[in-house]
Amino acid sequence: MPQYTIAWMPGDGVGKDVMDAARIVLDAMKFDAEYIPADIGWDFWCNEGDALPQRTVDILKRTDCALFGAITSKPNDEAQEELAPALRGKGLIYRSPIVRLRQLFNLHTNLRPCKAYPGNPLNYRGDDVDLVVFRENTEGSYGGVEFGPSTGGVPQNVFDALCTNPNMKKFGEKGLQNLAISTRIMSKQGCESICRQAFEYAKKHKRRNVTLIEKPNVLRETGGLMTRVFRQVAKDYPGIPSWEANIDAICMWLLKKPQDYDVLIAENMFGDIVSDLAAGLVGGLGYAASANLGDKYAVFEPTHGSAPKYAGQYKVNPLAMLLTCVLMFEWLGESEAARKLEDAVARVTRERKIGTYDVGMKNTTLEVGEEVARHATGGSRAPSPTSGGGRGVRGGGSASKRTNSKKSARSGSMKKKPAAKSSRRKKALARR
């Protein structure tokens, strides 16, 4: 019986390509897991009216964690146009499935390491950039509380309630049917959680400083709340320098001198923005991994998009996906596997014998995966998924809910104290 069950979600576009490369590596490393296919993405929105079907949510509930490839996400107007004719006009509203996953499973922390690996010609500011972004993942500007034309306009009662702030009244002159409102809702609990996790990570891994990225001089309530909480939490860590920077200013300073910074904290949208900027410093999205972490579950994904024009060509860089597997290993407590895989990625980057087009080379996604697998295992090149190697993916229809006996068998096979696996999951991931 496999030690782990992993929800396998290629998603859209090149998600399948990079996930195929990940399977080459995972199988070569003999990672003891069963992979349960789960449907997610644009095709399911177009044909079923739901990019995250309930059957996928049910699969995630009975797995240890999920690996996710990439997603296509479009504005609601375009999403409505691409619905199957039979589904149009039924009031279906498109929402990003990854945002929904984060909220359904309370994946409150988005961890995005941005580390430069020597030998990467795309390193923008040298080989010594090493940033870790802690992004609050369920609140803020991506909370999903919105009103506007696609939902029939702003309701009168919502407008009236907002008019308790005198700055709102002037917008009524434009007509409620012409307004769009996206909220930025933040809680003290959410702010404290992300700040404390970042400081704990910095303490554990001896990082040099922690910086809050906000805009409290303009976003006085939400930005002010995050800033006050950050300052209060920082008092509990007097040995770690704590800095503050406005979102616009940090974009300039990260480009000028990223080596000055270390751990970064941000609200949902600001974290999304600054982590892409940081990825650009260390080789682009082909090296950008991320982990969506909750107290009991996690979804691991590269931060790049679905790049539909390259889908099926096996052209894109899989290293972000493989570094995402490193994060998964660490969360599962498989620290030795994580070390071997990251070392293999670093070696392939440093040697520059095999690489994809983005780093000026001509190899395929799968060839890069095979080379990483070879170094991770210290053996010969691993077979591709089409050559018969590795454990097959089990069909989603045959998945059965884990029983207590299976959980006990898994705990025994790990040969460690009860709850050791759970406690490791709750800790910040160790990448250094």
Q: Please identify, among 237, 262, 292, the residue that sits at the C-terminal boundary of a domain.
A: 292
Residue range 20-76, pLDDT digits in tens? 999 999 999 999 999 999 999 999 999 999 999 999 999 999 999 999 999 999 988
Residue after which a domain boundary falls, among 125, 156, 182: 182
The answer to whether residues 416 and 306 belong to one domain is yes
301 and 284 within one domain: no
Domain boundary residue, one of 134, 162, 182: 182
**Which residue segment(s) compose the domain that 432 sits in?**
1-107+294-432
Task: Tell me the C-alpha distance between 40 and 48, whole Å.
Answer: 11
- The yes-or-no verdict on residue 193 having pLDDT over 80 is yes
Which pLDDT band holds residue 267 (cuts at 50, 70, 90)?
A: very high
- Compute the average pLDDT of residues 191-216: 97
pLDDT for res 351: 96
Ranges 4-8, 77-81, 85-89, 421-425, most confident: 4-8
Q: How far is CA 312 from CA 8, 39, 307, 363, 368, in A?
A: 18, 18, 10, 14, 15
Whether residue 416 has pLDDT greater than 60: no
What is the band of 144 on the pLDDT scale with cuts at 50, 70, 90? confident
Residues 69 and 84 in one domain: yes
| Closest by CA position to 95, among listed 55, 45, 58, 60 | 45
Same domain, 120 and 253: yes
Q: Strands 210-214, 65-70: parallel, antiparallel or unpaired by DSSP? A: unpaired
Same domain assignment for residues 384 and 401: yes
Q: How far apart are CA 91 and CA 80, in angstroms?
A: 9
CATH label of the domain that carries residue 261:
3.40.718.10
Q: Are residues 211 and 345 in the same domain?
A: no
Q: Is the dihedral of CA 422, 427, 431, 432 positive or negative?
A: negative
Mark whether 99 and 119 lie in a shared domain.
no
Residue 222 has what pLDDT? 97
pLDDT tens per residue, range 69-121: 999 999 888 999 999 999 998 989 899 999 999 999 999 999 999 999 999 99
Judged against a pLDDT cut of 60, whether residue 217 lies above it is answered with: yes
The per-residue pLDDT for range 365-395, each reduced to its tens digit, is: 999 999 999 999 986 554 544 333 333 333 3
**Residues 219, 356 share a domain:** no
Number of Cβ within a 10 Å radius of residue 316: 28
| Same domain, yes or no: 204 and 274 | yes
Provide the number of structural domains found in the chain: 3
Residue whose pair of structure tokens reads 């576009």 in the numeric block: 13
pLDDT at 381: 52
Distances (CA, A) of 380 to 29, 46, 344, 376, 389: 12, 43, 13, 10, 13
pLDDT on residue 280: 95
SS3 356: coil
* Band of residue 407 on the pLDDT scale cut at 50, 70, 90: very low
Confidence of residue 2 (pLDDT cuts 50, 70, 90): confident
Residue with tokens 């990570």, as numbered in its chain: 201
User: In this structure, are 250 and 151 located in the same domain?
Assistant: no
Do 306 and 426 belong together in one domain?
A: yes
Alpha-helix residue ranges (DSSP H) falling in 245-284: 247-256, 268-281
State whether 133 and 264 are in the same domain: yes
pLDDT recorded at residue 429? 41
- Say whether pLDDT at 417 is over 50: no
Task: Give the chain's mean pLDDT.
Answer: 88
